[in-house]
Chains A and B, each alone.
Chain A
């Protein structure tokens, strides 16, 4: 700790604090422009100059100067104020005065400072810039005439996003911020630069002319897309979500968001939202009253009782409270056929982890990963499924020099980070690789074996996965495998990351177990600061697992339900917040299920392709209209708050479940989220003792920062066989989308409007295809046509298609395999 005096006030701060941070802690205001809490100190704008007695003779930038013992700082004096005012006058020489139309007006740092320092006239005069605006992309407008060259956009895009869109170009007076070759922006569109820019130089285009900042009502909530669980602050006007605003005071994301969180909110305001229940009459869906719709559901479910019962398939974006009510409703209906999101894809979590470590959740929290010295990321798409967690990893690597090992079938951004090694394997062989690493640990005597059950069985099974053998079949160098295993074993704190989701249903249980084996053998399991991170795809995937939205005794899982329905063995299918026809593997199976089930109810926001097939469609509400909690992939329970009111007669899932329950004789009444939470906290281990009203800005991590494994049992798992065809298709998430919901949101859709087939340059050259050409994709007896997207990520012979789009029919071809053997031609 260091003692110093600021403006006569004696204060003590931590050793590496800057003067600015020290002042802030003491409640002393120093103006800043280029400073940002989450970026490294930079010192470009000079607005924060202060006087330090020990460094007399010049003014010192407080945002970059570390405190020293006994320092005496003065933050305001006539001279300092004069210099600050001059700094502003200089900035205003170049800066256009177009505040009246600037969307930043009212929350612009330059405007605020100009006001604070009463700059009413300028002693300097100069040529104003007249640079063209960048309006090429639909999301981010850049007007460099307003830029004050603070470099925050450059820094955030490099330090945190690791994309590196911007740079300072030219020099002297001509200096400006630009992309390579000074073109329009074409990037991840995460909008971090938008939120960092202190002036109106970088602005969100969808927000243009929607509201003045002070007219917006701010509501803190949680992003409805992925399991990262970023907190968002909705900017609401006239009952519409008009923007997502920067907020680094809540949650664990430091105000960082990805394109989906920042620009993917418009579906909430969509005209296409379902507003009234629909009932199939004479073959067509027609609007009816809630009473009529619910009566039809009751009749349908009653009719199903003796015809195989009801199968309930839930999405993973319901709140915990809603999952709890759904469980109760299933009980009332007497159905144990309950599952969520693809069922198969969470087997790793729900069965694999239970078997090995005795738990079904991540063992650590995201901020811990920043302190890890070795990080093993399984699948390069990790930063695409959970982009903001990806940013945490960037920082661990770039700031704290963590070693990053990526096991993947395509190259990704992770691989370009310093100290990163990508073990680029043929698709579907991740388990083999993890097994080989386990084999190295044992062979070289690096494995932690004390108190580990079942070791001999594992050892015996690993004979199959000798490093050289796995190297030969996977294409990863044997030495790289050995090195990775040794790094993991030598780590003081390590993180093993694994993402789960609908497009990853193949081998999911095996993968979970293989990762857990490695966690145990490398000493990762149970060690302070280390963790195994199991990240579910959707906003409340973890909640669904915690609340056991899973098949009960003798009940069917998602895939089994669909199979049973397809054989006419399930009386009714109740699909909630999910569009299986679009997103589940093997569309033919889903089609058969929907056609053969005697009665189908779909509860959703939109008339999805699945809903179009239903007998009854119940209009539900979005995350922005709900009150309750989500649990993210690090077990953090966070408050979801309603920012807008529901469209038409739509009802929350909670209300629908209670109403239905009542019709079936349940006495449960919905008295709001707090009461339901209190009820569920008694039923769910780990949630006990958590008080809904006490969930603060950072949420509550159930089980604590570190969740201790209850056992350590290694289990042999079989790896995959390499697919030998010339082309292999893998499917998955595209960074810009999440599930099928984002395809209803204008922002993500503007960037990636349609399905595509991605291939590497080498294959593109061999096939003589150019970007955007139509390609034929044949496999599993199905032929599709998709536009080509050419890039550097994919190795020869591997093609990739995102699974989000209904029209693509990827799931006609993809039936849940780790990799589909396909033919690709022009």
Chain B
């Protein structure tokens, strides 16, 4: 009713999972972090309606939760792809051509850092040193590491995951 601010359409999601997580922690003091982490496990990210739900049920301001979510890199506020492609941009990888690897990913999937393809299959992330500098340049797809990447090899890896479900 207030016409003082923009009206924001909220996505519709099933809050059962989030409610279950909150139920578990309801009586625990300072449970915000584990609640958010588990909600992210359930949904793959932290959907906005869950933030408001947590705010109401744990009696924390939504703004504070948003502050926490944007402070820690581990939280995601947007849906993420099935395959998270992490391209290392650390010093060693950078020197050995990580830039081109990133560009290839962008050309093929049309997504840059922290973006997700529309079919929710891939999320690209440029990250700092993964700790495998010996194999630079390095990428990771979910838990699998691929070293000594070239543009060709990058294309092959992408092809492989495109074919997978």
A: residues with CB less than 8 A from B are 136-139, 158, 164-171, 178-186, 189, 416, 750-754, 756, 758, 771-772, 787, 789, 792
15 A-B pairs (CB sep. < 8 Å): A136-B4, A137-B4, A165-B61, A167-B63, A168-B71, A169-B67, A178-B66, A180-B63, A180-B66, A181-B77, A182-B66, A751-B4, A752-B2, A754-B1, A792-B56
A788 (CB) vs chain B CBs: closest residue: B1
B11 to chain A, nearest CB (A): 12
Q: Which residues of A contact B6 (CB under 8 A)?
A: 136, 183-184
A164 contacts B4, CB within 8 Å?
no
Report A-chain residues with C-beta under 8 Å of the C-beta of B62.
164, 180-181
B64 contacts chain A at the CB level, 8 A cutoff: yes
Contact with A along B26-69 (1 / 0, CB 8 A): 00000000000000000000001001000110010111111100
Asked if B152 lies at the interface with its beta carbon under 8 angstroms from chain A, I say: no
Contact B51 A180 (CB under 8 A): yes
Residues in B neighbouring A792, C-beta threshold 8 A:
56
In the bound complex, residues from chain A placing their C-beta under 8 Å from that of B2 are 186, 751-752
- Find out whether the CB atom of B1 lies under 8 angstroms from the CB atom of A771: yes
On B, residues with C-beta under 8 Å from A are 1-8, 48, 51, 55-56, 59, 61-67, 70-71, 77
Contact present for B5 and A166 (CB under 8 Å): no
Residues of B within 8 Å of A169, CB to CB, are 66-67, 70-71
Having A181-B8, A751-B2, A758-B1, one finds 8 other A-B pairs with CB under 8 Å, namely A139-B4, A164-B64, A165-B61, A168-B71, A182-B66, A185-B5, A186-B2, A752-B1
- How far apart are the CA atoms of A744 and B48 in the complex, in Å? 37
- With contacts A181-B48, A416-B59, A792-B56 taken as known, whether A168 is within 8 angstroms of B67 at the C-beta atoms is yes
Determine the distance from Cα of A139 to Cα of B59 in the docked complex, in whole angstroms: 27
Chain A residues near B63: list those with CB within 8 A: 164-167, 178-180
Q: Separation in Å of the B108 CB from the closest CB of chain A?
A: 29
Question: Chain A residues near B77 (CB, 8 Å)?
Answer: 181
Q: Are B1 and A167 interface neighbours, CB within 8 A?
A: no
Q: State how many angstroms separate the Cβ of A406 from the closest Cβ of chain B.
A: 15
Instruction: Name the residue on A nearest B66 (C-beta).
Output: A180
Q: Evaluate whether A181 and B1 lie within 8 angstroms (CB atoms) in the complex, with A158-B61, A164-B61, A416-B59 already known.
A: no
Among B3, B48, B62, the one with the most A-chain Cβ atoms within 10 Å of its Cβ is: B3
Collect the chain A residues with CB atoms within 8 Å of residue B66's CB: 167, 169, 178-182
Closest-by-CB residue of B relative to A418 is B59
Q: What is the CA–CA distance of A416 and B7 in the complex, to the nearest angstrom?
A: 24
Q: Are A171 and B1 CB-contacts (below 8 A) given A178-B63, A180-B65, A792-B56?
A: no
Contact of B4 among A165, A182, A189, A787 (CB under 8 A): A189
CB-CB < 8 A to A179: which residues of B? 63, 66
Q: Which B residues are in CB contact (< 8 Å) with A181?
A: 8, 48, 51, 62, 66, 77
Determine the distance from Cα of A214 to Cα of B60 in the docked complex, in whole angstroms: 41
Q: Which residues of A contact B1 (CB under 8 A)?
A: 752, 754, 756, 758, 771-772, 787, 789
A752 to B4, CA, bound (A): 8
Nearest-Cβ distance from residue A164 to partner chain B, whole angstroms: 3
**Chain A min CB distance to B128 (Å):** 14
Chain B: minimal CB distance from A12 (Å): 40
For A756, what are the chain B residues with a Cβ–Cβ distance below 8 Å? Answer: 1
